[in-house]
Amino acid sequence: MTQITPDDLQTFLTDLDAAVRETADWDVPATYIPELAEVAVNQFAISVVLGDGQLLSAGDHDTLFSIQSISKVFTLACVLGRIGDQIWTRVGREPSGTPFDSIVLLEREAGRPRNPFINAGALVTTDALLQGRMPKDALSELIQFVRASVDDTDIHIDKAVAASEKATGFRNVALANFLKSYGNLTNLPDLTLGTYFHQCAIAMTTDQLALAGRDLAGLTDAPGLISSQRARRINALMMTCGHYDGSSDFAFRVGLPGKSGVGGGILIIAPGKASIAVWSPGLNHYGNSKVGAEAAHRLAAFTNWSVFSR
Amino acid sequence: MTQITPDDLQTFLTDLDAAVRETADWDVPATYIPELAEVAVNQFAISVVLGDGQLLSAGDHDTLFSIQSISKVFTLACVLGRIGDQIWTRVGREPSGTPFDSIVLLEREAGRPRNPFINAGALVTTDALLQGRMPKDALSELIQFVRASVDDTDIHIDKAVAASEKATGFRNVALANFLKSYGNLTNLPDLTLGTYFHQCAIAMTTDQLALAGRDLAGLTDAPGLISSQRARRINALMMTCGHYDGSSDFAFRVGLPGKSGVGGGILIIAPGKASIAVWSPGLNHYGNSKVGAEAAHRLAAFTNWSVFSR
Amino acid sequence: MTQITPDDLQTFLTDLDAAVRETADWDVPATYIPELAEVAVNQFAISVVLGDGQLLSAGDHDTLFSIQSISKVFTLACVLGRIGDQIWTRVGREPSGTPFDSIVLLEREAGRPRNPFINAGALVTTDALLQGRMPKDALSELIQFVRASVDDTDIHIDKAVAASEKATGFRNVALANFLKSYGNLTNLPDLTLGTYFHQCAIAMTTDQLALAGRDLAGLTDAPGLISSQRARRINALMMTCGHYDGSSDFAFRVGLPGKSGVGGGILIIAPGKASIAVWSPGLNHYGNSKVGAEAAHRLAAFTNWSVFSR
Amino acid sequence: MTQITPDDLQTFLTDLDAAVRETADWDVPATYIPELAEVAVNQFAISVVLGDGQLLSAGDHDTLFSIQSISKVFTLACVLGRIGDQIWTRVGREPSGTPFDSIVLLEREAGRPRNPFINAGALVTTDALLQGRMPKDALSELIQFVRASVDDTDIHIDKAVAASEKATGFRNVALANFLKSYGNLTNLPDLTLGTYFHQCAIAMTTDQLALAGRDLAGLTDAPGLISSQRARRINALMMTCGHYDGSSDFAFRVGLPGKSGVGGGILIIAPGKASIAVWSPGLNHYGNSKVGAEAAHRLAAFTNWSVFSR
């Protein structure tokens, strides 16, 4: 296969953005968080950081969006940094076969969530990040980590989104209290929930998000906050559990590890080759960005970056 | 990273075989198929076909074993060849989050199995392979496909194993009749079951199995029976669903697509780099080869072939 | 409350039959057994045996129908006679909270059915009735028991119905093989299934069925085949588990123990007062006779026989 | 059968109390509510109100205990009085087949609890009792209802128990928030929960509790707060759903409608004959009073009050 040049890729991204603008059906944003439901739906952005650190983008790549569940990747990385493999005593590493906010398996498996990327599992990693500290200290550590990953101090939590989710996130309150009833939260549920809602409300652009994935992709100019062994394992989890019930479908179509958020963003890792972020707020029935997943599919087809290809 | 030479790798495999022989706990073979329960447990084999077609092996690489569920990969490939993506109307592509022989989700999801690598899903692909033909015609097509993949006409079905499974496979009889009750079998359950038990009883050596994986790995001298796009997708399914409930754990530790069988074999694909087969009959609690999975883990660490590494 | 005379009751039954004939929506018979699907739907019968042995009836009380799951009561009574409380080691006594042919709980609870009135539980009691005998010997014992209960030697199995169910009862074949896989069948599944399909195909009239319930109701001229303690317990099970998922609704509306069958019959026990049989082939969404349940409701309101009334 | 005289019954109760005191294994009280865990375990009381209003008792019948889930019967009666059958649009009437605090079916059935006697269902009836009012107004109505039922103004809520449950009732917090996420709570979860914890903390003696059951039993001197039709239906629900997963077992052994609480009390109704209350704080594995259920069994055997007997 002939090598794709950065120029070729930039042309592809620009064309892709133009093509996406023709989309008839953008689908609808998450409605269960009022603040997210108001986001204009016909938006799209894509950013790619290449192996040499070059950043290419197209579309609304300067627009901030709520990263939501993508934050679970950063929290997991922080917690692995703090307590290492000990976290796996409290949360599993297997796909759940159920929707992201399901409580069924949690009861069957006595309060041990299947993996850190479903809501219940992320509540456990957030709880481990707190570890007796005040929420603002834990959140501060997380934000510092994200800023260092991007090399940009201008990354913040959108407090209106956090408040909006706190006011309506009954399902997550249920999950946290359920975990507590099984003894798998060390903090009071409200403390863990407050931290969780804030962590999900981090606002980023696709440019920032793509830069934040450099360690996971093992790019040459990555900041080195995540060891290569740890990056490999996080990538594996993103591949098998990163898109909830639609994880295998994403693996099947795109062939790259990714983590989606209900804000419409997806962080995608092409190990050794690129870190990619896409965004479009309308969600498919799995709760993943509809147009974003489609764009990822086309990018993978163009670049042949699938980890399952020769 | 410096390139590993075939000589380095052969030395590693020979050492690995010697190390494995020191194993204190081989675990026990599948007990629910009497014929398999009798296999001596302290056996091990590993075979690797490299990109240039070179075959390296160590241990009992000339010993025949029952490939069991690994056959599901070949059946799927045949069925995709026969009817293409149409098969996905009858079977899904997502991990089940339940054991390989679970019937729970099948009831919840009205007879549509989660993926073609759990037993229920494989019964559906076997049923599609039959497609109104006599079992012997369908099995003949499958065996020809496997022989062509290996380039070896000396591959057969072990009829004693097929008969043993037929006599005791009540769980599979239940699954097939359950599928039929939902209208997701086109043949009578007994016909599909007979074909299924025979397909699982194909006997191969690790040398043969590694050779059979060349198309999936996209190696240069592969026979070309599976298109590269189709290989990429089958690899994705093997990554997310190839080890039942332990799929994500395998992805996490080994980082390569694989498909295990209760006979103790595992077929592992390193896209563009190698096709690998390991075998050891003792099974861990997921129903996958204990020593085989451990050997795969060490091989991946040595070669850095994980698809999640840069 | 003033006593209802037999004359009052006969007038009520005759009027009820006339009123029922005006029914606009008889609903549809069971479709999954072809032979039952052909039964004319606009039929209705009701028979009541009073404390003094007097038999009152109205409607098609001489028409034979397939008693189907009502046979589970007779099989349970026979098995309790043969092996006593030992049967409870193999089957529970609790409502399942799931449909009559569900397999989900059977997996969760490792092959021990919730109660003897769901299909899985009845397969276990049928298996216990067989106890190593040939099906014809077990069936002969059961038929003798039913004939003696009714005091009528002219009761038979409808072989066309048994054959029809055998040809299409994939769900029951699944359940039997599932039980066998957990070791909770002592006979081969096909043997137990054959016996089960025949037992369900017993044909009776409502007159015969009402007479067969005299022991359970503890009426003065009852044949005495079931002890009063055993009758009390079987009645309790009929109350909590006799109508599958609709058991509590029947208890709530009718207030009497009952057992329904997909042939459209219901046996209803008013302890110390009456044994009642109703029949109408159309089924509601729980799989119980729609018009039959409605008639039972009106009879209970008229007589105030509910066990929950003062 | 010869009639049992009040004197016979008093002798039986006195003897029963003496026999119970010999109990070797009282089992342990509910541990998940700290305040209840401290109750001395070797206590027992039984009270029986006969048809003519005569009150017989034995044991610790003047000792106050926390009625806990028995309050669900009174809340249901109040709500049926306020809004009638409308409540059945929000909660079902069928046994759940799962433990009292299970959340699994709630997810499968989209937030509609199976019946008003499991925790989720009782949260819904409590929510309906609130109906936009302040908790103290709803609780006041409930307490007035209970006092009028007993004809005793000296009945109170034990605030230490309510506070204890509030501090540790994470499972119930989870259930309430889960219901809210499905839109099946009209008040904020905390408001409904606060009311629920207080209602469960009503303290009564067995004498008071037995008197409170007179309307359900349809005794001649009952206060008439519940119509006979409504009483019949509540009794039916107590029979099929009153002891959670152990309901059918209670029906099978005792043969009377009953409602248990984790405080160790059971209210038992013998329609037209008696209202019975038993108490002993140690619980069996279903969460029902171990010694209390045993005493009920012996009382039923002595009196032959089972509704399933002639």
**What is the rounded distance in angstroms from the CA atom of residue B241 to the CA atom of residue C107?**
21
Q: Where are the alpha helices (DSSP H) in chain B?
A: 6-20, 34-37, 71-83, 104-108, 119-130, 135-150, 159-168, 170-181, 189-200, 206-212, 214-217, 228-241, 247-253, 290-303
Using CB atoms, pick whichever of C97, C233, C246 lies closest to residue D252: C233
User: For D227, which residue in chain C has the nearest alpha carbon?
Assistant: C309
**What is the rounded distance in angstroms from the CA atom of residue D178 to the CA atom of residue A172?**
9
Using CB atoms, pick whichever of D114, D217, D239 lies closest to residue C310: D217
A123: Cα separation from own chain's centroid: 15
Q: Which of B17-31, B40-54, B171-185, C115-129 has the lowest mean pLDDT?
A: B17-31
C306/D231 Cβ within 8 A = no
A93/B97 Cβ within 8 A = no
B189/C181 Cβ within 8 A = no
The model's pLDDT over D72-106, given as tens digits with 9 standing for 90+, comes to 999 999 999 999 999 999 999 988 777 667 777 78
**Residues on chain D bordering chain A, Cβ-to-Cβ distance under 8 angstroms:** 102-104, 107-108, 170-171, 173-178, 180-181, 189
Q: Which residues in chain C are closer than 8 Å to D296, comparing Cβ atoms?
A: none
Looking at residue A90, its amino acid is R
Whether A235 has a pLDDT exceeding 90, the answer reads yes
D236/C308 Cβ within 8 A = yes
C218/D237 Cβ within 8 A = no
Task: Write out the two tokens for C98.
Answer: 């799931």
SS3 state of residue A55 = strand
Exposed e or buried b per residue across D241-259, where buried means at least 16 C-beta atoms within 10 angstroms of its C-beta: bbbbbbbbbbbbbbbbbbb
Q: Known catalytic residue: B166?
A: no
Using CB atoms, pick whichever of C108, C170, C189 lies closest to residue B180: C170
As a whole number, the mean pLDDT across chain B is 93
Question: A20, A47, A48, A72: which one is catalytic?
Answer: A72
Q: Known catalytic residue: A20?
A: no
SS3 state of residue C277 = strand
The model's pLDDT over A257-291, given as tens digits with 9 standing for 90+, comes to 999 999 999 999 999 999 999 999 999 888 899 99
| Percentage of chain D modeled with pLDDT above 70 | 98
Chains in contact with A, where contact requires at least 3 CB pairs less than 8 Å apart: B, D
The Cα-based distances of A41 to A29, A290, A294, D234 in angstroms read: 7, 11, 15, 51
Q: How far D5 CA sits from the closest chain C CA (Å)?
A: 19
C243: Cα separation from own chain's centroid: 9
**Residues on chain C bordering chain B, Cβ-to-Cβ distance under 8 angstroms:** 102-104, 107-108, 170-171, 173-178, 180-181, 189
Residues of D designated as active site: 69, 72, 196, 244, 262
Looking at residue A191, its amino acid is L
Helix (H), strand (E) at residue C147: helix C135-150
Mutation target to probe the C interface, by most C beta carbons within 10 A, among D94, D117, D219, D303 is D94
Task: Write out the two tokens for C70.
Answer: 């009502």
A173/D177 Cβ within 8 A = yes
Residue A100, pLDDT score: 66
Inter-chain contacts counted by CB atoms under 8 A, chains A and D: 51
D177/A177 Cβ within 8 A = yes
Residue A109, pLDDT score: 82
Q: Which residues in chain B are closer than 8 Å to C175, comparing Cβ atoms?
A: 174
D232/C255 Cβ within 8 A = yes
The model's pLDDT over B192-207, given as tens digits with 9 standing for 90+, comes to 999 999 999 999 999 9
**What is the rounded distance in angstroms from the CA atom of residue A78 to the CA atom of residue A148?**
12
Contact, A116 vs A237, CB < 8 A?
yes
Q: Which of A23-37, B141-155, D82-96, D225-239 has the lowest mean pLDDT?
A: A23-37
Q: Which residues pair with B65 in a beta bridge?
A: B204
Using CB atoms, pick whichever of C104, C171, C178 lies closest to residue B181: C171
A177/D173 Cβ within 8 A = yes
Q: Which residue from D175, D138, D143, D137 is spatially nearest to D158, judged by alpha carbons?
A: D143
SS3 state of residue C224 = coil
Contact, C262 vs C36, CB < 8 A?
yes
Q: Which residues in chain D are closer than 8 Å to C217, comparing Cβ atoms?
A: 310
User: What mean pLDDT is predicted for residues D18-25?
Assistant: 88
User: What mean pLDDT is predicted for residues D126-145?
Assistant: 96
Looking at residue A159, its amino acid is K
Q: Which residues in chain B are closer than 8 Å to C180, comparing Cβ atoms?
A: 170
The model's pLDDT over A190-216, given as tens digits with 9 standing for 90+, comes to 999 999 999 999 999 999 999 999 999
B271/A308 Cβ within 8 A = yes
**What is the rounded distance in angstroms from the CA atom of residue A291 to the CA atom of residue C96?**
44
D181/A177 Cβ within 8 A = no
What number of other Cβ atoms are within 10 A of residue D87's Cβ?
18
Residue D1, pLDDT score: 45
User: What mean pLDDT is predicted for residues A17-28?
Assistant: 89
Q: Which residue from C125, C111, C107, C86 is spatially nearest to C241, judged by alpha carbons?
A: C125
**What is the rounded distance in angstroms from the CA atom of residue A157 to the CA atom of residue C216?**
70
Question: B244, B275, B289, B291: which one is catalytic?
Answer: B244
The model's pLDDT over C22-75, given as tens digits with 9 standing for 90+, comes to 987 888 888 878 888 889 999 999 999 999 999 999 999 999 999 999 999 999
**DSSP letters of A272-297?**
TTEEEEEE-S-B-TTSSBHHHHHHHH
The Cα-based distances of C77 to B66, C128, C232, D310 in angstroms read: 48, 12, 12, 18
D174/A177 Cβ within 8 A = yes
Using CB atoms, pick whichever of B102, B108, B173 lies closest to residue C177: B173
The model's pLDDT over C12-30, given as tens digits with 9 standing for 90+, comes to 999 999 999 998 788 888 8
C258: Cα separation from own chain's centroid: 7
Contact, D263 vs D65, CB < 8 A?
yes
Q: Which residue from D157, D234, D236 is spatially nearest to D200, judged by alpha carbons?
A: D157
Q: Where are the beta strands (DSSP E) in chain D?
A: 45-50, 55-59, 65-66, 156-157, 202-204, 258-260, 265-270, 274-279
Compute φ and ψ for A308, nearest 5 degrees.
-95, 0
Compute φ and ψ for A284, nearest 5 degrees.
-80, -175
**What is the rounded distance in angstroms from the CA atom of residue A306 to the CA atom of residue B220?**
18
User: What mean pLDDT is predicted for residues C234-253?
Assistant: 90
**What is the rounded distance in angstroms from the CA atom of residue B99 to the CA atom of residue C238?**
35
Task: Write out the two tokens for B128.
Answer: 């599609």
Chains in contact with D, where contact requires at least 3 CB pairs less than 8 Å apart: A, C
The Cα-based distances of B217 to B209, B273, B275, D159, D163 in angstroms read: 12, 7, 6, 69, 63
Q: Which residues pair with D275 in a beta bridge?
A: D49, D269
Q: How far D40 CA sits from the closest chain C CA (Å)?
A: 31
Chains in contact with C, where contact requires at least 3 CB pairs less than 8 Å apart: B, D
**What is the rounded distance in angstroms from the CA atom of residue B280 to the CA atom of residue B28?**
10
**What is the rounded distance in angstroms from the CA atom of residue D75 to the CA atom of residue B79?**
60
All domains in chain C, ordered by first residue: 6-66+205-303 (3.40.710.10), 68-202 (3.40.710.10)
Q: Which of B77-86, C187-196, C246-255 has the lowest mean pLDDT?
A: C246-255
Is residue C100 very low, low, confident or very high in pLDDT (cuts 50, 70, 90)? low
Q: Which residues in chain A are closer than 8 Å to D177, comparing Cβ atoms?
A: 170-171, 173-174, 177
Rounded to a whole number, what is the distance in angstroms from the first to the last CA of chain D?
Answer: 10
Q: Known catalytic residue: A286?
A: no
**DSSP letters of D19-51?**
HHHT-S---B--SSSHHHHTS-SS--EEEEEET
Q: Which residues in chain C are closer than 8 Å to B171, comparing Cβ atoms?
A: 177-178, 181
B173/C173 Cβ within 8 A = yes
**What is the rounded distance in angstroms from the CA atom of residue C243 to the CA atom of residue B162?**
42
Is residue D2 very low, low, confident or very high in pLDDT (cuts 50, 70, 90)? low
Q: Which residues in chain A are closer than 8 Å to D171, comparing Cβ atoms?
A: 177-178, 181
Angle in degrees, CA B129, B135, B140, rounded to 5: 75
Using CB atoms, pick whichever of A93, A96, A239 lies closest to residue B239: A239
C96/D114 Cβ within 8 A = no
Rounded to a whole number, what is the distance in angstroms from the first to the last CA of chain B?
Answer: 10
pTM: 0.92
Q: How far B85 CA sits from the closest chain A CA (Å)?
A: 12
Whether A1 has a pLDDT exceeding 50, the answer reads no
Q: Which residues in chain B are closer than 8 Å to A97, comparing Cβ atoms?
A: 94-98, 105, 114
SS3 state of residue C62 = coil
Question: B20, B48, B49, B72: which one is catalytic?
Answer: B72
Angle between helices C135-150 and C71-83 (to 10 degrees): 110
User: For B92, which residue in chain A has the nearest alpha carbon?
Assistant: A249
Rounded to a whole number, what is the distance in angstroms from the first to the last CA of chain A?
Answer: 10
As a whole number, the mean pLDDT across chain D is 93
User: How far is it between the farthest Cα atoms of chain A?
Assistant: 57
Helix (H), strand (E) at residue C56: strand C55-59
Q: Which residues in chain B are closer than 8 Å to C119, comparing Cβ atoms?
A: none
What contacts B222, CB < 8 A, 6 or more positions away? B214, B215
Whether D293 has a pLDDT exceeding 60, the answer reads yes
A241/B308 Cβ within 8 A = no
Q: How far C233 CA sits from the closest chain B CA (Å)?
A: 31
Residues of C designated as active site: 69, 72, 196, 244, 262
